[in-house]
Chain A
């Protein structure tokens, strides 16, 4: 159970620098409760209750479980999950996914700190800032 006005964010990227960058961009906002994982497999392992996750921020191209597949698995338990794909491989994302859903967006790498914060805010509260 999450506290009112707070959002559980699961961030997954196989690149340590990107994970740290996302953490640094979002950590100062105390409404966001961040969980960070280095792979899709680790993300599933640290998420015993997918229903508690409000937003998945994920790389698309990763060894093992790729971003769209991770999103699909988490959505089976949590249809309301919002997803933000961070990708330098937009072509690959759209090879794997023929359409984006209303609750999904992608941010092309490289992303700016402001761009990431705005995308997160748009997905979780529907406006540009939290």
Chain B
């Protein structure tokens, strides 16, 4: 059953989206942080560096896309 005004519903949806974006940033931050740590620790000739750099780049791109996401005012 519907209850509450349209404004209430929109406010709740905005809160949910804001919280979702915060959670996504948290998870992407963990991916980027561990990728940075490993890139610092691996030898420059380590064969895994290129794969790790791809992971880091994709994580950074995902973060940009998240930043581009426009939430309603």
Contact = CB atoms under 8 A, between A and B. Distances in A.
A15 B31 CA distance: 13
A6 interface: no
Nearest to B40: A113
Interface string A92-122: 0000000000000000011111000000000
A88 B37 contact: no
B60 to A, nearest CB: 9
Contacts of A89: 22
B40 A21 contact: no
A110 B36 CA distance: 12
Interface in B16-62: 22, 25-30, 32-34, 36-37, 40
B37 A25 contact: yes
B37 A109 contact: no
Interface residues of A, number: 14
Contacts of B37: 21, 24-25, 113
Interface residues of B, number: 14
Name the prevailing secondary structure of the B interface residues.
helix
B36 to A, nearest CB: 5
Interface of A: 15, 17-18, 21, 24-25, 61, 88-89, 109-113
B22 A15 contact: no
A109 B27 CA distance: 10
A112 B22 contact: no
A89 B17 CA distance: 13
Contacts of B33: 21, 25, 110-113
B26 A112 contact: no
B34 A110 contact: no
A109 B40 contact: no
A109 B40 CA distance: 19
B36 A15 contact: no
B40 A17 contact: no
Contacts of A18: 26, 29-30
